[in-house]
Amino acid sequence: MTKTLRSLIVWNMYLPCFRIRLLIAAILFAAIGLVTNGCESGKQDDADSPPRQRSVSVTTFTAETGKIQEVVHAVGTMEAMKDVEIRPEISAIVEKIHFQEGAQVSAGELLFTLESDEIRRRLQSLQAQLDGAEAEAERARRFYQRRRELFSRNVISAETRDKALADYLSANSRVDQIEAQILEAKETLKKTRLASPIDGIAGAHRVDPGDYASVGDLLTTVFKIDRLSLSFTVPERFAGQVKPGQLARIELPSHPEKFYQGKIYYVSPQIVETTRSLPLKAWVENPDRTLLPGAYAAVELIIETRNNAVLIPEEALVPTRDGYGIFVVEDGMARWREVNIGLRRPGTVEIRQGLEPGEIVVRTGHINLADGDPVKVVSAP
């Protein structure tokens, strides 16, 4: 009922003539009926007309081909290619240290000298004993020769000859014994001079001159670091995919501005049961010796590389109960596709089956989509 009709009804109540009021009321009721019928007719027309389908706003991406790699992330520790601990084989006082800590040393370079005075005195004594023993052995030899000649002329008995021979052999044995002692003393004297067995970097002094070093005490360590060994592990599931020769990308907190490359040279033949991981080792070249043993390293090991892979943004995937799907745009409408995915990297996924390069994929907005819905592309990065 409109405002005009309501106003007429109120005005009609105040008219003085009953017949006039009755006539006007009939006219008003007829008008009300026409208005009501018109409204109901309009509603019926709206109900019979088909609903208009609204387009869903989406962003899209054109599927492209490119290279994708499967990378395993791990942490490892740098180790010296070789390190040799310098330990004395005799007990003696450290007489002199011939190197600076952290300095480059060469194979055969003298590092420590141990006190050797007592060994030298013993060697002199043994040399004097050898001189006397050799003289005695020469005297015994001549004596035996004379006795042998006399025996050949039947001048002396065989027993006398044999005694001379025994004395000669005993004197020679004494010479041999002293010579062995001298050789041993000389070897002991050599052990008072400790040299580096390899080219490398000398470690810290573990003793000072005047300290007493016992057999086996650690004096220092020499590190060969022109090449380092990187030890790390990968999960057990990659055991069949790693092999010697594969490359690893290495980053160290001490050199954040630079990346290094390692090459796998060792793949363990056994899985570590406690961690279910596979130990690996890689060579890392270090010609400028800037990398140090014991350093922590972040490792990216390239397990597999695929070229010409079909790639889309990871956000375009729609998880399903059986796997994954995507929406592609065809003739302005969204079409549902089930797909098989392959390798993934942050933000990108490989489509192994279900999509061809160049097809338009719904990147965002698919949460409101169903198969066959019209779409409106608001941006196409």
Within a domain: 133:
yes
| CB-based contact 316:361 (threshold 8 Å) | yes
Within a domain: 149:
yes
Question: Distance between CA atoms of 371 and 327, rounded to whole angstroms?
Answer: 8
Residues 314 and 261 placed together within one structural domain of the fold: no
pLDDT in the model for residue 272: 95
Phi and psi angles of residue 72, each rounded to the nearest 5 degrees, phi first: -105, 130
Residues 187 and 164 placed together within one structural domain of the fold: yes
Looking at residue 238, the DSSP 8-state letter turns out to be: G
Within a domain: 207:
no
Residues 40 and 150 placed together within one structural domain of the fold: no
Domain of residue 321, CATH code: 2.40.420.20
Q: Which residues of the chain have pLDDT under 70?
A: 1-53, 379-381
Domain of residue 287, CATH code: 2.40.30.170
Question: Distance between CA atoms of 71 and 304, rounded to whole angstroms?
Answer: 7
pLDDT in the model for residue 282: 96
Calculate the CA 224 to chain-centre distance. Answer: 21
Residues 311 and 366 placed together within one structural domain of the fold: yes
Within a domain: 340:
yes
pLDDT in the model for residue 289: 87
Residue 200 bridge partners (DSSP): 105
| CB-based contact 366:372 (threshold 8 Å) | no
Residues 298 and 313 placed together within one structural domain of the fold: no
Which residue, 287, 305, 323, sits at the end of a domain?
305
Within a domain: 212:
no
pLDDT in the model for residue 256: 87
| CB-based contact 248:263 (threshold 8 Å) | yes
Residues 272 and 375 placed together within one structural domain of the fold: no
Total count of domains within the chain: 4
pTM higher than the cut 0.85: no
Residues 127 and 30 placed together within one structural domain of the fold: no
Residues 104 and 180 placed together within one structural domain of the fold: yes
Residues 105 and 197 placed together within one structural domain of the fold: yes
Residues 95 and 168 placed together within one structural domain of the fold: yes
Range of the domain at 153: 84-202
Residues 356 and 277 placed together within one structural domain of the fold: no
Within a domain: 211:
no
Residues 192 and 96 placed together within one structural domain of the fold: yes
Within a domain: 291:
yes
- 347-371: per-residue pLDDT in tens? 999 999 999 999 999 999 888 889 9
Within a domain: 333:
yes
Question: Distance between CA atoms of 205 and 368, rounded to whole angstroms?
Answer: 72
pLDDT in the model for residue 32: 53
